[in-house]
Structure 1
Amino acid sequence: MSRESMKITGYRTLTTVHRWGRPIGDVNGHVAGTTEVPIVILETDEGLEGIGLGSHRDLDRLFPALLGEDPRATTALYDRMLAFVFKSGHSGATFGGIGALDMALWDLKAKAAGEPLWRLLGARDRYIPGYASGLEIAVADEDLAQLYSGWVERGFTAVKIKGGRDLASDRRRLEIAADLFRANTTSPALMFDANESWNRKQAVRHISALEETLDLTWVEEPLRRWDAAGLAAVSQAVRASVATGENLTGLDQYRSLFDSGAVDVVQTGSVWGVTHFLRVAVLAHGHDLPMSAVSYNTNPLAHAAAAIPNNLCIEVQDLGSPVGITVDQEIADGGIVLGDAPGSGVVIDEAAIRQAKGANGWTDPVGPHFRPERAGLRLVPEQV
């Protein structure tokens, strides 16, 4: 197969579902347990195809930046997509479309080279340490042991709990999680995620109260994603690190956080793509800050995480894959072990996917997963 003049000729989309087997969500709401998984497939004149996951938004506006181009020019094509929408802005939903296409480009580049993406990106080790994160806020206390048993059996020593409204419940659930993961270590790493639900003083009070009895590794998104001064103040007031960044859509949005000392653990969302992750990682490395990718179906940033010098750990939200998707990786030894399949290792069964039933979406504007009107405006912890 010639590699001299490969060209992108088209794309197609599919939507499958992920069946979690439990309700999933955070303090802003939860969904019943089945979510949609958009898939983007880039086609080339040589028959090679690249797979991206995460969003179908604005693909028609973005694809002209790729049509007829060699997909191996990954970073140049990423910038070309940004340039095509610079007048109307790249952030928000449009950035999700860029991310899905970017994943597909990197998948194509590695497949063309006949190598797994982690090796193409320069990684030495196929293993990435991880932490358990079951999005478990709607799972009852008595069911947490069953939920997290798979992660414990696979050697995980770190776990993240969702919360932010009920202090007593948050403390209790963190203690339950700590007890479960002590099967693998005497001192499990405990993370706590408030999903932007507090104001500055609420965050300090709530975290400080938890820290009276718990050693938190980090608190995630205690304030709104853009509040650099507030996040810096929280970081200075509590022992735990502040982790944030998963909802920032572009390198430019991190500048004020770095300049203000507002982030201790730098995060990116998997759905924003490989190039975004790599660029944020370089910026973070220049500030001596660790990176931690926020997970998505099939853990698409795991290959990139293996290749950066400042990777701390990656979130692992589930132990299975969406309907019709298999991925060449093993969740073991407290993290992800990547395989040798060329590209990102994602293989799709289009026939099975076409039979997949629809599902509740995270982004439905009428909920159930949306920020409450009184978020950040509560005088006392709320009992739920």
Structure 2
Amino acid sequence: MRITGYRSLTTVHDWGRPVGDVNGVVEAGVTEVPILLLETDGGLTGVGLGQHADIARVFPAVEGEDPRAVSALYDRMLSYVFKSGHAGATYGAIAAVDMALWDLKAKMAGEPLWRTLGARDRFVPGYASGLCYGLTDEAFEAHYKQWAERGFTAAKIKGGRDVERDIHRLEIAAEVLRRNTDRPGLMLDVNECWSRKQAVRLTSEVEARIDLTWIEEPLRRWDAEGHAIVSRAIKAAVATGENLTGVDQFTPLFEAKAVDVVQTGSVWGITHFNRVAMAAHAHNLPVSPVGYDCNPVAHAAAAVPNMVGIEIQDFNFPLGLSVDQQIMDGGLVLGDRPGLGIEVDEAAITANRLSGTWSKSGGPHVRPRRAGLGLVPNGRAAAER
């Protein structure tokens, strides 16, 4: 079987609530979901998720190749673009192809990807994460009650601008989750909005009142020295890495002993997750993939020895996608459908009239101009766009 071509689709995910973080909120609660369909001469189609604007640049590296050679083709794609670099949009395209290749490999074997990757158990432990920054306290509590009803014992909230609000939200989440555990896992994600001193001072303030499991992305993703300073100054773990592209970008964090929970972005693909997980394992560190539509990296997470928990962001899936997994018992139960377990209804996607707003100006992907420069976290300057 050989790879012959590709098609690109975009569907939407209707979250049914505002979603976002300290950098911005999608009030409409509708976001776009790019889909890459990798075609073969054997009639099978591989499914990859995530933005892939640079697909035309990387596709020649895999055209005509046997899709089972996934790891070699991953390196071939990296080599194909080495002069211009592999980060950003280019890495997104490589990741979408990589995900589709793994989907094809498992489909050719007639088994779910978690089996192909060597997992023993179909259950993947997780933690709740509602992208909850734009919710009122009442909506916030109601939302996390739904996670508690599904057996979750840990939750991550979005914060960073108002520490009193963050503490209050963490207290609400803790109370909700106590139906399942006496000591809930509580994480705070500030999405790179603090300076080094802010991170130490504000996390310490949270820790004075909350048993905090980890602080996530307290600083800019590349600041290894700063993350090391924060990690040594606080009691909670420091989690970061979701926006790093390529295992090489994690090396400064490992060398500086700057990260306690190694995170990977699900949109960067299966091979990326596996390599970062093994690098973390070599440093005696746990790994945790961040959430994305359909939880595709969960199949890989089920197979690595140091996976502490996967972020799960919603109970529903994007329009036109049928996904063979269940959210229950505090995690994901992966099914037996071959590959990633994702079936694409192209007719439903084509008929859709909703538009996603994630990529519009002012969304969570746009960093505010004065992030990390405010003297008062919840002051006017900190909120300035």
Q: TM-score, normalised by structure 1?
A: 0.97
Is 2:39 aligned against 1:25?
A: no
Q: Is the 8 A contact 2:12 2:356 kept in 1?
A: no
User: 1:147 Cα deviation (Å)?
Assistant: 1.2
Determine the C-alpha separation between the residues in 2 that align with 1:72 and 1:358: 36
Corresponding residue of 1:72: 68
User: 1:359 Cα deviation (Å)?
Assistant: 2.6
2:207 alignment partner, one of 195, 202, 211 = 211
Equivalent residue of 1:152, what SS? helix
1:102 alignment partner, one of 92, 98, 101 = 98
RMSD: 1.0
User: 1:57 Cα deviation (Å)?
Assistant: 1.3
Q: Is the 8 A contact 1:150 1:319 kept in 2?
A: no
Equivalent residue of 1:132, what SS? strand
Is 2:150 aligned against 1:154?
A: yes
1:14 alignment partner, one of 9, 14, 27 = 9
1:60 alignment partner, one of 36, 56, 59 = 56
Q: Is the 8 A contact 1:31 1:360 kept in 2?
A: no
User: 1:374 Cα deviation (Å)?
Assistant: 1.1
Structure 2 residue identity aligned to 1:124 = R
User: 1:144 Cα deviation (Å)?
Assistant: 1.4
Structure 2 residue identity aligned to 1:195 = N
Equivalent residue of 2:194, what SS? coil
Is 2:42 aligned against 1:49?
A: no
Determine the C-alpha separation between the residues in 2 that align with 1:357 and 1:226: 39
Equivalent residue of 1:10, what SS? strand
Structure 2 residue identity aligned to 1:35 = T
Cα deviations by residue, 1:158-184 (Å, 9 ceiling, x for unpaired): 000100010111111111111111111
Corresponding residue of 2:165: 169
Determine the C-alpha separation between the residues in 2 that align with 1:144 and 1:208: 24
Determine the C-alpha separation between the residues in 1 that align with 2:5 and 2:293: 24
Structure 1 residue identity aligned to 2:171 = E
Corresponding residue of 1:296: 292
Corresponding residue of 2:266: 270
Corresponding residue of 1:3: none
Is 2:373 aligned against 1:377?
A: yes
- Structure 1 residues without counterparts, runs of 5 or longer: 1-5
Cα deviations by residue, 1:339-379 (Å, 9 ceiling, x for unpaired): 11110101111100112234344333x32331111111111
Identical aligned pairs, as a percentage?
65
Q: Is the 8 A contact 2:12 2:354 kept in 1?
A: yes
Q: Is the 8 A contact 1:114 1:342 kept in 2?
A: yes
User: 1:41 Cα deviation (Å)?
Assistant: 0.5
Structure 1 residue identity aligned to 2:372 = G
Structure 2 residue identity aligned to 1:16 = T
2:245 alignment partner, one of 245, 249, 252 = 249
Aligned length: 378
User: 1:208 Cα deviation (Å)?
Assistant: 0.2
Structure 1 residue identity aligned to 2:326 = E
Determine the C-alpha separation between the residues in 2 that align with 1:215 and 1:297: 29
- Structure 2 residues without counterparts, runs of 5 or longer: none
Map 1:177-196; keep pairs closer than 5 Å: 177-196=173-192
Q: Is the 8 A contact 1:40 1:104 kept in 2?
A: yes
Equivalent residue of 1:367, what SS? coil
Cα deviations by residue, 1:317-342 (Å, 9 ceiling, x for unpaired): 00100000011111111000111111
Equivalent residue of 2:213, what SS? strand
Q: TM-score, normalised by structure 2?
A: 0.97
Q: Is the 8 A contact 1:36 1:358 kept in 2?
A: no
